[in-house]
């Protein structure tokens, strides 16, 4: 059963950036990400130009929670116990008989115990849980389709090329060097891909800050891309909203690694200039670890165990890691709900009612302890 907590009880409120505070125009960003990977595979790795063509209905293939079985070329939808509910081979749906032929009569996926509760990565599978790599699920499925249309041994060894495409487009220096496809496109036309935060959200953040809450922004995006995003969605003075900004956090390592493995770095003109043995004051930092951050939060809040809540969109990088390693409360953002028929409260009335009740005395679900990684 899910527990609950109240924001009024939290001393520190942290946010991921991409697909949390910064929402994307998913239709456009998904196309851009797919094209950036596919173009690289075609031009640099010699893959078929057929990968560049995507029909509108094919986008439905992209769904969070998919597992790519790299040994079989299959995409799996699992239940809470690792049982294969549905599967495709490439983009082709598998029948019940075909699933049982590969995974046995009980349909048990053999690698489930290595991913459930730990999100351990492996060369044998890949778990899709964020929008920055989700379009590659469709790309990989179409690659499997291409392999099946060729004669000879069926070996699914394309993953190294997918990783190379991701590295090429998302590497730390890509924004500055204007290389790849993704960053140049977003820089050229941010409004095409990004949704500005509403005035209600901006007021909410400012009210939180003014009420004495310590606000964090922790993102794996590099500082230059973070600057572009935040100025576009929050305005030029966005830094006033946060006590601490951490970029290039390389989550989940930010939460799982010790200070010696992942120290903080001071920044100057978007360059990491020197390593920091600890954090002494609020500011903008790069990389780092939650242990040193925790010490600074104790100093800022003047509490031995400040209560922290963190909002994020990735089960692996944000929700599981922040709760498991740091014991933070967590709130999972489902951007996909925008397309559903859900109740949308009047934000003006909501803020007004909060003031009447006592600021931010609102209860939220703790998702990390209540949701199994592959149940949705």
What domain range is 343 assigned to? 4-22+197-365
Domain membership flag for residue 373 = no
Average pLDDT over residues 181-185: 96
Average pLDDT over residues 161-165: 96
Dist CA 63 CA 86 (whole Å): 13
Domain membership flag for residue 370 = no
Q: Which of 188, 219, 241 is the last residue of a domain?
A: 188
Q: Which residue has the tokens 């890949």?
A: 126
Dist CA 44 CA 105 (whole Å): 42
Same domain, 218 and 307: yes
Domain membership flag for residue 371 = no
pLDDT the model gives residue 151: 63
Average pLDDT over residues 43-54: 96
What percentage of the chain reaches a pLDDT higher than 90?
A: 78
Dist CA 209 CA 204 (whole Å): 9
Mean pLDDT, the chain, rounded, equals 89
- pLDDT tens for each residue of 107-136: 999 999 888 766 777 889 999 988 999 999
Q: Which of 188, 220, 251 is the last residue of a domain?
A: 188
Same domain, 177 and 207: no
Domain membership flag for residue 372 = no
Count of domains for the chain: 2
> Could you tell me how many residues make up the chain?
376
Which uninterrupted H or E stretch holds 204? helix 199-210
From the candidates 11, 16, 129, 224, give the one annotated as an active-site residue. Answer: 16
Query: How far separated are the first and last CA of the chain, in Å rounded?
Result: 16
> Closest Cα to residue 282, out of 336, 215, 190?
215
Angle between helices 135-148 and 26-45 (to 10 degrees): 40
Q: Which two tokens stand for residue 135?
A: 């379009």
Same domain, 85 and 8: no
Same domain, 253 and 314: yes
16 in active site: yes
Banded pLDDT at 283 (limits 50, 70, 90): very high
Dist CA 35 CA 321 (whole Å): 30
145 in active site: no
Q: Which of 167, 188, 209 is the last residue of a domain?
A: 188
Angle between helices 26-45 and 159-170 (to 10 degrees): 120
Dist CA 23 CA 370 (whole Å): 25
Average pLDDT over residues 176-194: 96
Average pLDDT over residues 261-288: 97
- pLDDT tens for each residue of 221-230: 999 999 999 9
Higher per-residue confidence, 229 vs 153: 229
Phi-psi category of residue 82: left, alpha or beta, with phi > 0 → left and psi -120 to 50 → alpha: left
Dist CA 283 CA 267 (whole Å): 10
Residue 165 scores a pLDDT above 80: yes
What percentage of the chain reaches a pLDDT higher than 70?
A: 86
Dist CA 281 CA 3 (whole Å): 33
Dist CA 112 CA 78 (whole Å): 9
pLDDT the model gives residue 152: 62
Q: Write down the pTM of the prediction.
A: 0.87
Same domain, 328 and 234: yes
pLDDT the model gives residue 376: 34
Same domain, 114 and 154: yes
Same domain, 112 and 34: yes
Same domain, 245 and 224: yes
From the candidates 18, 69, 161, 313, give the one annotated as an active-site residue. Answer: 18
Residue 146: strand, helix, or coil: helix
Dist CA 271 CA 289 (whole Å): 18
Same domain, 121 and 35: yes
- pLDDT tens for each residue of 200-248: 999 999 999 999 999 999 999 999 999 999 999 999 999 999 999 999 9
Same domain, 18 and 65: no
Dmax (CA) for the chain in angstroms is 71
pLDDT the model gives residue 114: 83
| Cβ count near 271 (within 10 Å) | 12
Banded pLDDT at 348 (limits 50, 70, 90): low
pLDDT the model gives residue 329: 95
Which uninterrupted H or E stretch holds 365? strand 363-365
């Amino acid at each position: 059963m899910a527990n609950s907590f109240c924001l009024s009880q939290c001393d520190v409120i942290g946010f991921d950036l991409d697909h949390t505070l910064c929402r994307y125009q998913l239709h456009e960003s998904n196309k851009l990400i797919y094209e950036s990977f596919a173009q690289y595979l075609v031009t640099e790795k010699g893959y078929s130009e057929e990968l560049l063509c995507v029909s509108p209905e094919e986008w439905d293939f992209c769904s969070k929670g998919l597992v790519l079985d790299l040994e079989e070329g299959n995409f799996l939808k699992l239940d809470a116990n690792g049982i294969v509910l549905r599967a495709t081979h490439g983009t082709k749906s598998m029948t019940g008989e075909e699933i049982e032929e590969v995974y046995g009569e009980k349909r048990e996926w053999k690698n489930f115990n290595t991913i459930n509760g730990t999100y351990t990565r492996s060369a044998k599978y890949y778990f899709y849980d964020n929008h920055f790599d989700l379009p590659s699920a469709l790309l990989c499925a179409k690659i499997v389709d291409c392999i099946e249309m060729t004669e000879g041994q069926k070996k699914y060894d394309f993953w190294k090329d997918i990783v190379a495409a991701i590295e090429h487009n998302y590497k730390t220096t890509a924004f500055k060097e204007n290389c790849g496809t993704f960053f140049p496109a977003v820089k050229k036309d941010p409004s095409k891909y990004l949704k500005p935060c509403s005035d209600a959200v901006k007021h909410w953040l400012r009210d939180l800050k003014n009420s004495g809450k310590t606000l964090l922004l922790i993102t794996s995006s590099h500082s230059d891309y973070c600057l572009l995003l935040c100025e576009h969605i929050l305005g030029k003075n966005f830094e006033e909203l946060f006590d601490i900004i951490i970029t290039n956090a390389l989550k989940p390592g930010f939460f799982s690694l010790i200070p010696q493995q992942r120290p903080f770095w001071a920044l100057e003109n978007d360059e990491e200039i020197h390593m920091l043995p600890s954090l002494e004051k609020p500011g903008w930092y790069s990389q780092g670890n939650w242990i040193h951050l925790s010490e600074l939060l104790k100093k800022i809040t003047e509490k031995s165990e400040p209560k922290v809540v963190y909002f994020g969109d990735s089960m692996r990088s944000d929700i599981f890691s922040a709760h498991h390693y740091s014991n933070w409360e967590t709130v999972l953002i489902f951007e996909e709900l925008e397309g559903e028929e859900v109740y949308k409260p009047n934000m003006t009335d909501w803020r007004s009612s909060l003031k009447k009740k006592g600021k931010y005395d609102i209860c939220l679900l703790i998702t990390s302890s209540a949701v199994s990684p592959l149940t949705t």
